[in-house]
């Protein structure tokens, strides 16, 4: 019997709390649907009247049972108190929820379901305890009616929701496809690609576009997949970097930290209890409570930053570092794995800043495991303790204030999210402007644009500060608003305990306990709301990183791609068509074969498509149509690594790292010996020059090789290719920056290097390719002529012949164009 009464008591309390929580969660979910662009459906008058009728009937049932309870006379037992709480709370609850103008059918349906589920066992247990007393029979009848009404409310709201959905489907928005799905199927996937396909040539890499795109993504995502839950779920790709699945050390630190959290929880109760004991002993005149005071001191010190707090801080270090390491390494690898279309569209400074901003998420694991879950436990303990030590009214006050505090926090944080997003964007812009100016220092100097750049940076800094101020100011107001609720709650609780003491039901020690315990009680509530606010900010910061993670490389290894083993070097283009933009073809029906050891020169006016052919060879892009084969393997069927290691490239503008000459050379072959480096440099006609530098091979080349001349940079790039010793060479204007003598030396060296290797040469100066086995002349993306130098210059009115004549004429008129002797 006592057990049944206990269960009933728990059910009564649980029913009220669970209903309130369900309503709160449903409200938040709905709220965020609205932020995501979904509006609450207008409710018909007919439905609104019915809804109010149902609610009215339900409230009548609660009031009726409350009257029965009061007339019954047994108001002091724990069960009666729990019933009072249940009935009082739910009457208020349904009054607030059921008569609002706003359509709250979603919240009502969910809350009614929870209430019905918990009231059903209350009814069953009450029925089992039936003694044929009139009050009991009345109570059961009322409870049965209430259950019926609750079930009707659920059914009614389900039906109205379905009717609403049908209406929505009939008027599906333009954003959605016929089947109701939005056009973007996944959050953050290559928006540029979508735009390109849609024929939209807007410059999507601008930050304004980003902000709009992110907002649109968020809105569509929220609309398509179910509110903030979908938004949070969108971050799941980042979870593997935050969860230490295989890291034993981090797992152990996490476990120990959780265990210590439990100890702290126990301490949070023991310390105020100890102070309560001290007070009671003092008031009770049982002598000075020195022993109790010393125990309190020990407990307090043990619980503070010099005890458990210190161990916790030390244990947190590996946890924080784990996430940072994971996210940073993964973001770097991912960005580096993205294809050329991504890198040519995006600003590198902005991408780096996005990675940096995303690192804020590294505290997610710590926040979730070590902050949020323990504070939830703290709250549950607090509710139980207050109920056990005082009474249900105190618990109710605490619950209500927690719920209001958290609801307020969630809503106010949401208001500030866009400000945070603006601030994050301004931060990236500031980095971008600064990076551009520093990187382009030479250009800035040539044009004497220092004051222009200073203004630009000053504007970017000011803009960032303005947005930061707005966000921080809002945050301060939110905190102020939140802080108001807490003293009010303490006042109410203290008021109620004092009342209990004045009635002789509680001792002054209980008051001391409450005041002391308040510290430990307020902390989890405040921490929870604070963490929530920062978590939301961190997630906004990480949106761009998430977008990066979700951008898949457009060029990647196909499943089952094979390794390109040792190759002979046959390269074949078969009816290749290619376009960077579908509206403008770049290469049209390109077909040719380069046999091992052959040198194929690509010639044509600027923009004809020469470099594009080499980019396709290296698979920076995939052909739109046709195929490219290396030794009979389609380049799309072999791994990117093995394909690219078959090539050696001397680009138009070689990039050197700000390191020594030797280090730059070893980039091509890390294990190369000094002798190998020297051989390669001799072959590239740069060895003697390097030895003439004071530091020789240890000379630092400066950023992008600014401390070297153009010809030296180019010869170092050639030396790197010698070191790499590839089967296929791509020389893009490889000798454009050298004088005639050096050019001759390089040409001789290249002739040696070319032996037995397939070589593609792109040259504007035709003198450098007169010995090529085949010259392919391109015009507007098509091959217009092909043959040897001799064959081509003999074609009257041929395009090559025309180019050749112009260059020869250029030399005759004193132009700097050089011809091979
Ligand atoms: N990443 C890109 N995105 C869009 N269009 C591009 C891109 N790269 C090149 N193009 C365009 O493709 C065409 C061919 O360019 P490509 O660089 O292949 O010409 P090229 O013959 O090598 O010219 P140059 O001799 O001046 O280097 C040009 O019209 C160019 O504007």
What is the C-alpha separation between 169 and 205, in angstroms, rounded?
Answer: 34
Span from the CA of 23 to the centroid of ligand 1 (angstroms): 59
Q: Highest-confidence range of 222-236, 449-463, 478-492, by mean pLDDT? A: 449-463
pTM over 0.95? The answer is: no
Q: How confident is the model at residue 274 (pLDDT cuts 50, 70, 90)?
A: confident
In the prediction, which pLDDT does 529 show? 76
What's the CA-to-centroid distance between 800 and ligand 1, angstroms? 20
- Here the tokens at position 259 are 């265990």
Instruction: Name the residue at shortest CA distance from atom 26 of ligand 1.
Output: 606
Distance 778 CA to ligand 1 centre (A): 12
Percent of the chain clearing pLDDT 70 (strictly above): 84
Task: Tell me if 141 is assigned to some domain.
Answer: yes
Of 61-70, 242-251, 783-792, where does the model show the most confidence?
Answer: 783-792
Ligand 1 center to residue 610 CA distance, Å? 8
Collapsed DSSP state (helix, strand, coil) of residue 715: helix
User: Which of 124, 150, 170 represents a domain boundary (last residue)?
Assistant: 170
Overall average pLDDT of the 600-621 stretch:
90
- pLDDT score recorded for residue 810: 58
Q: Which residues pair with 604 in a beta bridge?
A: 778
pLDDT of residue 40: 52
How many angstroms is it from 609 CA to the middle of ligand 1?
A: 6
Cα 183 from Cα 181, distance rounded (Å): 6
Quick check: 613 pLDDT over 90? yes
CA-nearest residue for atom 7, ligand 1, is: 580
Whether 488 contacts 405, CB under 8 Å: no
Looking at the fold, whether 719 and 790 belong to one and the same domain comes out as no
| Ligand 1 center from residue 804 Cα (angstroms) | 22
Stretch (H or E) spanning 139: helix 134-170
Distance 118 CA to ligand 1 centre (A): 70
Q: Is the pLDDT of residue 591 over 90?
A: yes
Residues 681 and 594 in one domain: no
In a domain, 379, yes or no: yes
Q: Please report, for the domain that includes residue 517, its CATH number.
A: 1.20.1560.10
Q: Quick one: 677 and 790 in the same domain? A: no
Q: How many CB atoms lie within 10 A of CB 121?
A: 14
Averaged pLDDT for residues 481-502: 79
Q: How many angstroms separate the alpha carbon of residue 586 from the centre of ligand 1?
A: 8
Identify the H or E element spanning 425: helix 392-439
Paired tokens of 314 = 């030390």
Q: Please determine, for residue 92, whether its predicted confidence score (pLDDT) is greater than 80.
A: yes
**Model pLDDT, residue 191:** 32
Instruction: Indicate the range of 34-43, 355-364, 717-726 predicted with least confidence.
Output: 34-43
User: Would you report the helix, strand and coil content of the chain in percent, each value rounded to 5?
Assistant: 70, 10, 25
Which protein residue has the closest C-alpha to ligand 1 atom 18?
A: 609
- On the question of pLDDT at 202 being above 50, the answer is no
With 70 as the cut, is the pLDDT of residue 247 above it?
A: yes
- Measuring from atom 9 of ligand 1, which residue has the nearest CA? 612
Which residue has a Cα nearest atom 24 of ligand 1?
606
Do 490 and 456 fall into the same domain?
Answer: yes
Counted domains in the chain: 4
Burial of residue 765, with CB atoms counted within 10 A of its CB: 0-12 exposed, 13-18 middle, 19 or more buried: middle
pLDDT at 619: 92
666-679 pLDDT, tens digit per residue, is: 988 888 899 989 98
Q: Looking at the domain assignment, is residue 180 inside a domain?
A: no
Is residue 251 scored above 80 in pLDDT? Answer: yes
Ligand 1 binding site (Cβ under 6 Å of any ligand atom): 344, 580-581, 586, 604, 606-612
Question: Which residues on adjacent β-strands are paired with residue 498?
Answer: none
Ligand 1 mutation target, pool 192, 196, 580, most atoms within 8 A of CB:
580
607 C-alpha to center of ligand 1: Å?
A: 5
Give first-to-last CA distance, the chain, whole Å. Answer: 114
What average pLDDT is seen over the chain?
A: 78
Is residue 153 situated within a structural domain?
yes
Question: 203 pLDDT exceeds 50?
Answer: no
- Token couple for 206: 């601008």
Residue 210 has a pLDDT of: 47
Side-chain half-sphere of 127: how many Cα atoms within 13 Å? Answer: 10
Longest CA–CA span in the chain (Å) reads 124
Candidate of 343, 587, 608 to mutate for ligand 1, largest count of ligand atoms within 8 Å of Cβ: 608
Q: Between the ranges 98-102, 153-157, 361-365, where is the mean pLDDT highest?
A: 153-157
The Å distance, Cα 613 to ligand 1 centre, comes to: 10
* pLDDT computed for residue 804 by the predictor: 85
**From atom 31 of ligand 1, which residue's Cα is the shortest distance away?**
607
Q: Which atom of ligand 1 is nearest to the CA of 615?
A: 18
Task: State the distance from the centre of ligand 1 to the C-alpha of 641, rounded, in angstroms.
Answer: 25
Could you tell me the pLDDT band of residue 574, with boundaries at 50, 70 and 90? very high
pLDDT at 737 over 60: no
> How many A from CA of 38 to the centre of ligand 1?
44
**Alpha carbon nearest to ligand 1 atom 17, residue:** 611
Q: Which of 550, 569, 590 is the last residue of a domain?
A: 550
Between β-strands 571-578 and 625-630, what pairing exists: parallel, antiparallel or unpaired? antiparallel
Q: Best substitution site from 602, 612, 621, 622 to test ligand 1's pocket, by max atoms within 8 Å of Cβ?
A: 612
The set of residues, in sequence order, having a beta carbon less than 8 Å from that of 390 and lying 6+ positions away, is: 496, 497, 500, 506, 510, 514
* Residue 196 confidence (pLDDT): 35
Residue 229, token pair as written in the block: 């839950």
In this structure, are 497 and 400 located in the same domain? yes
For the CA of 778, the closest atom of ligand 1 is 21
* Residue 624 CA, ligand 1 centroid: distance in Å: 16
Average pLDDT estimate for 690-698: 90
- Lowest model confidence (mean pLDDT) among 198-207, 221-230, 652-661, 671-680: 198-207
Q: For residues 279 and 512, what is the distance between their CA atoms, to the nearest angstrom?
A: 7
Q: Which atom of ligand 1 is nearest to the CA of 341?
A: 1
| Closest to 367 measured CA to CA, from 377, 359, 375, 355 | 375
Q: Are 627 and 587 within one domain?
A: yes
- Give the domain-ending residue among 170, 193, 217: 170
Average pLDDT over residues 353-373: 72
22 in Cβ contact with 103 (< 8 Å): no
Residue 197 in any domain: the answer is: no
Based on the fold, state whether residues 634 and 783 are members of the same structural domain.
Answer: yes
Reading the block at residue 41, the tokens are 């459906």
Cβ neighbour number for residue 442 with a 10 Å cutoff: 10
Residue 295 lies in a domain: yes
The SS3 call for residue 182 is strand
Q: Which residues of 662-690 are buried (b: 16+ CB within 10 A; e: fewer)?
A: bbbbbebbeebeeebbbbbbebbbbbebb
Distance 611 CA to ligand 1 centre (A): 7
711 Cβ partners below 8 Å, 6+ apart?
Answer: 737, 738, 739, 742
Q: Say how many C-beta atoms besides its own lie within 10 A of residue 170's C-beta.
A: 7
For residue 171, pLDDT beyond 60: no
Task: Tell me the ipTM for this assembly.
Answer: 0.97
What CATH number does the domain containing 614 carry? 3.40.50.300
Ligand 1: atom nearest CA of 764 is 25
**Mutation pick for ligand 1 pocket among 196, 586, 590, 652 (CB with most ligand atoms within 8 Å):** 586
Measure the CA dihedral 124/128/130/136, to 10°: -20
**Is 465 found in the same domain as 427?**
yes
Average the pLDDT over 527-540 and give the result.
76
* Residue range 269-275: mean pLDDT, rounded: 84
What is the whole-number distance in angstroms between the Cα of residue 606 and the centre of ligand 1?
A: 8
Cα 583 to averaged position of ligand 1 atoms, centre (Å): 15
Cβ 72 vs Cβ 87: under 8 Å: no
Helix (H) or strand (E) holding 643: helix 640-644
Q: How far is CA 170 from CA 27, 163, 184, 394, in A?
A: 26, 11, 21, 51
Residue 486, class by beta-carbon neighbours within 10 Å (0-12 exposed, 13-18 middle, 19+ buried)? middle
Instruction: Report, as an integer, the average pLDDT of 532-559.
Output: 80
Residue with CA nearest ligand 1 atom 5: 580
Q: Identify the band that residue 375 occupies on the pLDDT scale cut at 50, 70 and 90.
A: confident
Kindly write down the DSSP assignment for every residue of 663-702, as one continuous string.
HHHHTT-TT--HHHHHHHHHHTT-HHHHHHSTTGGG-B--
Q: Which of 31, 21, 19 is nearest to 413 (CA)?
A: 31
Stretch 548-566: mean pLDDT: 84
Q: Lowest-confidence range among 104-118, 419-433, 501-515?
A: 501-515
Q: Whose C-alpha lies nearest to ligand 1, atom 10?
A: 580
Angle separating helix axes 308-337 and 508-550, nearest 10 degrees: 10
- 451 shares its domain with 571: no
Residue span of the structural domain in which 55 resides: 2-170
At residue 134, the pLDDT reads 79
What mean pLDDT is predicted for residues 750-765?
Answer: 80
Instruction: Judge whether 191 lies within some domain.
Output: no
Strand 599-604 with 782-787, pairing: unpaired
Same domain, 545 and 483: yes
Query: Which residue's alpha carbon is at the smallest distance from atom 30 of ligand 1?
Result: 607
Atom of ligand 1 minimally distant from the CA of 609? 18
CA gap 15, 62 in Å, rounded: 13
**711 and 579 within one domain:** no
Do residue 494 and residue 618 come from a single domain? no
Residue 438 lies in a domain: yes
| pLDDT at residue 222 in the model | 46
Confidence of residue 556 (pLDDT cuts 50, 70, 90): confident
Residue with CA closest to ligand 1 atom 25: 606
Of the pLDDT bands very low, low, confident and very high (cuts 50, 70, 90), residue 181 is very low
The set of residues, in sequence order, having a beta carbon less than 8 Å from that of 494 and lying 6+ positions away, is 511, 514, 515
């Amino acid at each position: 019997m006592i057990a049944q009464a206990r269960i009933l008591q728990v059910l009564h309390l649980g029913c009220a709390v669970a209903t309130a929580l369900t309503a709160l969660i449903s409200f938040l979910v709905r709220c965020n649907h609205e932020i995501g662009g979904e509006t609450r459906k207008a409710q018909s008058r007919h439905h609104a009247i019915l809804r109010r009728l149902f609610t009215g009937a339900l409230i009548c049932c609660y009031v009726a049972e409350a009257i029965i309870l009061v007339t019954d006379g047994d108001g002091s037992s724990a069960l009666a108190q729990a019933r009072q709480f249940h009935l009082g709370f739910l009457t208020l609850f349904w009054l607030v929820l059921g008569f609002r103008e706003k359509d709250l059918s979603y919240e009502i349906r969910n809350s009614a379901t929870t209430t019905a589920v918990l009231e059903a066992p209350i009814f069953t247990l009450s029925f089992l305890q039936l003694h044929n007393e009139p009050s009991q029979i009345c109570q059961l009848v009322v409870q049965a009616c209430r259950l019926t009404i609750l079930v009707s409310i659920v059914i009614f709201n389900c039906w109205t929701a379905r009717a609403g959905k049908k209406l929505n489907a009939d008027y599906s928005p333009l954003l959605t496809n016929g089947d109701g799905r939005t056009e973007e199927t996944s959050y953050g996937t290559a928006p540029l690609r979508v735009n390109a396909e849609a024929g939209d040539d807007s410059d999507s890499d601008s930050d304004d576009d980003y902000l709009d795109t992110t907002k649109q993504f968020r809105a569509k995502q929220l609309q398509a997949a179910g509110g903030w839950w979908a938004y949070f779920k969108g971050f799941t790709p980042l979870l593997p970097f935050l969860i230490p699945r295989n890291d034993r050390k981090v797992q152990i630190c996490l476990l120990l930290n959780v265990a210590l959290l439990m100890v702290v929880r126990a301490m949070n109760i023991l310390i105020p209890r100890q102070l309560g004991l001290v007070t009671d002993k003092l008031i009770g005149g049982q002598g000075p409570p020195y022993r109790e005071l010393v125990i309190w001191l020990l407990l307090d010190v043990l619980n503070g930053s010099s005890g458990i707090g210190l161990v916790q801080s030390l244990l947190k270090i590996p946890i924080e570092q784990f996430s940072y390491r994971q996210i940073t390494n993964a973001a770097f690898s991912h960005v580096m794995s993205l294809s050329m279309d991504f890198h040519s569209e995006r600003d590198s400074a902005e991408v780096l800043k996005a990675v940096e901003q995303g690192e804020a998420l590294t505290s997610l694991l710590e926040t979730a495991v070590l902050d949020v879950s323990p504070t939830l436990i703290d709250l549950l303990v607090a509710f139980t303790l207050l109920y056990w030590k005082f009474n249900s009214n105190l618990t109710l006050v605490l619950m209500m204030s927690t719920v209001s505090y958290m609801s307020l926090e969630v809503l106010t944080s949401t208001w500030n999210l866009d400000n945070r997003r603006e601030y994050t964007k301004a931060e990236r812009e500031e980095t971008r402007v600064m990076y551009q100016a520093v990187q382009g220092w030479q250009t800035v100097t040539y044009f004497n644009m220092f004051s222009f750049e200073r203004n630009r940076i000053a504007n970017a800094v000011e803009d960032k500060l303005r947005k930061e101020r707005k966000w921080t100011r809002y945050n301060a107001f939110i905190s102020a608003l939140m802080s108001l609720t807490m003293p009010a709650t303490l006042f109410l609780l203290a008021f109620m305990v004092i009342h209990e003491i004045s009635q002789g039901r509680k001792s002054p020690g209980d008051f001391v306990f409450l005041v002391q315990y308040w510290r430990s009680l307020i902390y989890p509530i405040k921490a929870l709301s604070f963490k929530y606010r920062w978590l939301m900010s961190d997630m906004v910061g990480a949106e761009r990183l998430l977008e990066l993670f979700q951008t898949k490389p457009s060029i990647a290894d196909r499943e089952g791609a094979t390794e390109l083993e040792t190759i002979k070097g046959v390269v074949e283009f078969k009816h290749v068509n290619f376009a960077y933009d579908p509206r403008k073809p770049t290469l049209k029906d390109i077909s040719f074969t380069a046999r091992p050891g052959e040198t194929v020169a690509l010639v044509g006016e600027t923009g004809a498509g020469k470099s594009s052919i080499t980019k396709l060879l290296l698979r920076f892009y995939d052909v739109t149509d046709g195929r490219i084969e290396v030794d009979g393997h389609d380049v799309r069927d072999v791994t990117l690594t093995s394909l690219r290691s078959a090539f050696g490239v001397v680009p138009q503008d070689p990039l050197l790292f700000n390191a020594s000459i030797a280090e730059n050379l070893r980039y091509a072959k890390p294990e190369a010996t000094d002798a190998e480096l020297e051989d390669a440099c001799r072959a590239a006609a740069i060895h003697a020059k390097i030895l003439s530098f004071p530091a020789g091979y240890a000379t630092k080349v400066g950023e992008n090789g600014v401390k070297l001349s153009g010809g030296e940079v180019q010869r170092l790039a050639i030396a790197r290719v010698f070191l790499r010793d590839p089967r296929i060479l791509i020389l893009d204007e490889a000798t454009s920056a050298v004088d005639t003598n050096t050019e001759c030396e390089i040409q001789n060296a290249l002739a040696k290097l070319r032996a037995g290797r397939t070589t593609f040469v792109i040259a504007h100066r035709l003198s450098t390719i007169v010995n090529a086995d085949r010259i392919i002349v391109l015009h507007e993306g098509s091959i217009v002529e092909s043959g040897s130098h001799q064959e081509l210059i003999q074609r009257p009115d041929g395009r090559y012949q025309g180019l050749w004549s112009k260059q020869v004429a250029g030399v005759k008129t004193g132009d700097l164009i050089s011809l091979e002797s």
